[in-house]
């Protein structure tokens, strides 16, 4: 019960401080920060976009276990148990202040307040319990029924009713007062008082929890409204028209353009940041920047905007995996901004070879300056498929660099761009053993038939997508059971920065068969059988699918 009250109060306090400082989020974030790449990779793979939910449920489960443990301890040593709760809260506080996005020690407040309330509730409630050294006589309910009604179960509910972090500390006195009273009566403390006090605490904690939720929801609604008010200008340079047959529109084949709701999502954010567009600023500064810039959202919108189709891919995508999607993006060409600030690429004598992008949630991503300025459509995107960026995908502004994996280029919720060198600074994922540079590896995927599908013998359509962003796909081949490679039909070609659909008509014979695919990009490289995992620079190898033809 005290654990429940602690979490509820802490979550409410987090609303006052910063949603990201809530202990659940902070501990989760600290876990994310410290998870070895292989394990994180596994979690993303196993739980996909639900990995964060699984993590939070795990933390809640650990919390429940701890609460049960301290509850038992409290039966005998309530002072030690209360201190245990406080120590646990300190851990939460350390996690909150140790996160990359933590800028102030205020972030410790929710955990500390929660722990103090939790400890107090535990101490008080344990004091209400029948003393364990008394003979356990559950079969004697009569005395407690005949006892006078408890004066009031309020002390504990007053504790849980403290709505603000500063008042939270006042939770201590009542418990002391109570502690002094408990040992006094010679008669056994009433079971009924304990039950009432517990029920009162439960009700109050639930109320506090709901209040926290409500406040959080209204902040979300404000952010939602500010996003809805954004009007995106028309692009000065519209996306090149797509050939009609760029999308084969086959059943079960991934569409050429991914709807925003189905676009994959990969990030470390346990609470999706919802920056306020009005106060949002982007700073551009650092080594070799002659004229540092600070831009607001309107400054960005008033520039010439480009519109481009770009396929984004995650380095954590396994061969055949789902972390690749394509959208039509609207944004400001990053090279223009950099040149305006006086930045030169290393090849023209510029002193900075790394561009470090920093998000409002403290994430850092590092991109080669040379690549950003080599003429490709690297951009600060404000629009995605005709609407402002969804919060999940980086509202109000994110970076995109065609041809590079997301973790080295696609900073969401961006707020700062610093020019530096690779020697001077390692960004978040590089500190965690991922490669500094992440060009996307040429890949292909079979979308249909699905693994273990049971198609009928005869003509079966095999189809999928292949990608080699910024290079282009020249050929896709399929083979059955290690037989000869057969050329698939390619869909019409869209921009080089996007994937390409393909299909092949298979004269399928009954039995179990393995289909395998490989792509050749415009540099002449053909995917090999060499399989590597996703760490440190992306998976390689060919996708294959086993089907049972009936
Ligand atoms: N702020 C922030 N930006 C981020 C990340 C992140 O964790 N935080 N993840 C990166 C990674 S690993 C990828 S693959 C892309 C994914 O972008 P999406 O979620 O819009 O598909 O965002 C990148 N930008
Ligand atoms: Mo990624």
Torsion, Cα of 272, 277, 279, 284 (10° steps): 90
Cβ-proximal residues to 506 (8 Å cutoff; 6+ apart), any chain: 459, 460, 461, 462, 478, 480, 515
User: How does residue 115 score in pLDDT terms, banded at 50, 70 and 90?
Assistant: confident
Residue 385 has pLDDT above 60, yes or no: yes
How far CA 301 is from CA of 199, 257, 314, in Å, comes to 55, 24, 28
Which has the minimum average pLDDT: 42-46, 126-130, 295-299, 388-392?
Answer: 42-46
- Cα 206 to ligand 1 centre (Å): 35
How far, in Å, CA of 326 to CA of 322, rounded?
Answer: 12
Which has the minimum average pLDDT: 4-18, 142-156, 182-196, 298-312?
Answer: 142-156
Put residue 107 in one of left, alpha, beta given phi > 0 → left and psi -120 to 50 → alpha: alpha
Residue 203's pLDDT is 74
The residue among 491 and 100 whose pLDDT is bigger is 491
Which is the closest atom of ligand 1 to the Cα of 429? 12
Residue 30 has pLDDT above 80, yes or no: no
| pTM for the full predicted model | 0.79
Map tokens 């891919």 to a residue: 313
How far, in Å, CA of 353 to CA of 288, rounded?
Answer: 10
Ligand nearest to the CA of 268: 1
Q: Percentage of the chain with pLDDT > 90?
A: 59
Q: Percentage of the chain with pLDDT > 70?
A: 76
Residue 36 has pLDDT above 60, yes or no: yes
Pocket of ligand 1 (CB under 6 A): 263-268, 312, 314, 359, 361, 363, 393, 406-407, 410-413
Query: By CB neighbour count within 10 A (0-12 exposed, 13-18 middle, 19+ buried), where does 542 fall?
Result: buried
Give the pLDDT confidence of 416-454 residue by residue, as tens digits. Answer: 999 999 999 999 999 999 999 999 999 999 999 999 999
Residue 75's pLDDT is 77
Q: Identify the residue whose C-alpha is closest to ligand 1 atom 19.
A: 265
Cβ distance 222 to 383 under 8 Å? no
Q: Identify the residue whose C-alpha is closest to ligand 1 atom 6.
A: 267
Q: Which of 379, 403, 410 to mutate to test the pocket of ligand 1 (most atoms within 8 A of CB)?
A: 410
Q: Which of 35, 52, 261, 266 to mutate to test the pocket of ligand 1 (most atoms within 8 A of CB)?
A: 266
Length of the chain: 550
Cβ-proximal residues to 451 (8 Å cutoff; 6+ apart), any chain: 545, 546, 547
Q: Nearest-5° angle of CA 381, CA 386, CA 388?
A: 50
Q: What's the whole-number mean pLDDT along residues 207-216?
A: 71
The residue among 315 and 198 whose pLDDT is bigger is 315
Checking DSSP bridges between strand 281-286 and strand 414-420, what pairing results, if any? Answer: parallel
How far, in Å, CA of 99 to CA of 308, rounded?
Answer: 35
* Residue 368: both structure tokens together: 């080669």
Residue 98's pLDDT is 66
């Amino acid at each position: 019960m005290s654990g429940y009250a602690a979490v509820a109060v802490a979550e409410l306090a987090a609303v006052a401080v910063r949603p990201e400082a809530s202990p659940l989020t902070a501990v989760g974030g600290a876990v994310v920060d410290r998870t070895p790449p292989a394990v994180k990779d596994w979690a993303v793979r196993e739980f996909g976009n639900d990995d964060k939910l699984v993590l939070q449920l795990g933390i809640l489960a650990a919390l429940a276990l701890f609460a049960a443990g301290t509850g038992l301890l409290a039966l005998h040593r309530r002072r030690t148990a209360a201190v245990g709760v406080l120590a646990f809260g300190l851990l939460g506080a350390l996690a909150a202040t140790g996160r990359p996005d933590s800028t102030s020690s205020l972030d410790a407040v929710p955990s500390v307040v929660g722990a103090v309330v939790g400890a107090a509730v535990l101490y008080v409630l344990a004091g209400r319990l029948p003393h364990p050294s008394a003979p356990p006589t559950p079969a004697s309910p009569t005395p407690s029924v005949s006892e006078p009604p408890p004066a009031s179960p309020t002390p504990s509910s007053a504790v849980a009713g403290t709505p603000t972090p500063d008042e939270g500390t006042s939770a201590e006195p009542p418990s002391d007062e109570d502690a002094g009273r408990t040992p006094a009566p010679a008669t056994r403390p009433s079971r009924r008082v304990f039950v009432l006090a517990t029920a009162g605490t439960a009700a109050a904690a639930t109320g506090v929890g709901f209040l926290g939720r409500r406040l959080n929801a209204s902040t979300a609604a404000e952010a939602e409204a500010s996003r809805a008010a954004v009007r995106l200008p028309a692009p000065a340079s519209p996306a090149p028209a797509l050939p009609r047959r760029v999308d084969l529109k086959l059943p079960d084949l991934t569409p050429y353009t991914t709807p925003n709701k189905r676009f994959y999502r990969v990030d470390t954010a346990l609470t999706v940041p919802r920056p306020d567009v009005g106060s949002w600023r982007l700073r551009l500064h650092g080594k070799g920047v002659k004229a540092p810039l600070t831009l607001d959202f309107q400054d960005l919108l008033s520039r010439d905007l480009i519109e481009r189709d770009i396929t984004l891919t995650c380095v954590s995508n396994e061969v055949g995996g789902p972390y690749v999607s394509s959208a039509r993006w609207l944004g400001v060409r990053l090279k223009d901004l950099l040149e305006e600030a006086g930045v030169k690429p290393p090849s023209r004598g510029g002193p900075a070879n790394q561009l470090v992008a920093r998000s409002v949630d403290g994430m850092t991503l590092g991109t080669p300056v040379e690549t950003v300025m080599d003429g490709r459509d690297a951009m600060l995107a404000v629009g995605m498929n005709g609407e402002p960026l969804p919060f999940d995908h980086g509202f109000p502004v994110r970076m995109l660099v065609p041809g590079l994996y997301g973790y080295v280029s696609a900073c969401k919720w961006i707020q700062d761009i610093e020019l530096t060198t690779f020697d001077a600074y390692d960004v978040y994922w590089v500190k965690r053993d991922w490669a500094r540079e992440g060009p996307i590896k040429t890949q292909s995927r079979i979308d249909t038939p699905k693994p273990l599908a049971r198609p009928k013998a005869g003509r079966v359509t095999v189809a999928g997508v292949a990608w080699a962003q910024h290079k282009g796909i020249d050929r896709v081949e399929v083979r059955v059971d290690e037989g000869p490679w057969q050329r698939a039909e390619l869909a019409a070609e869209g921009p080089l920065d996007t994937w390409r659909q393909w299909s092949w008509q298979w004269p399928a014979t009954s039995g179990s068969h393995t289909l395998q695919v490989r792509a050749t990009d415009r540099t002449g490289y053909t995917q090999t059988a060499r399989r590597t995992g996703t760490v440190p620079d992306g998976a390689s190898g060919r996708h294959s699918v086993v089907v049972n033809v009936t």
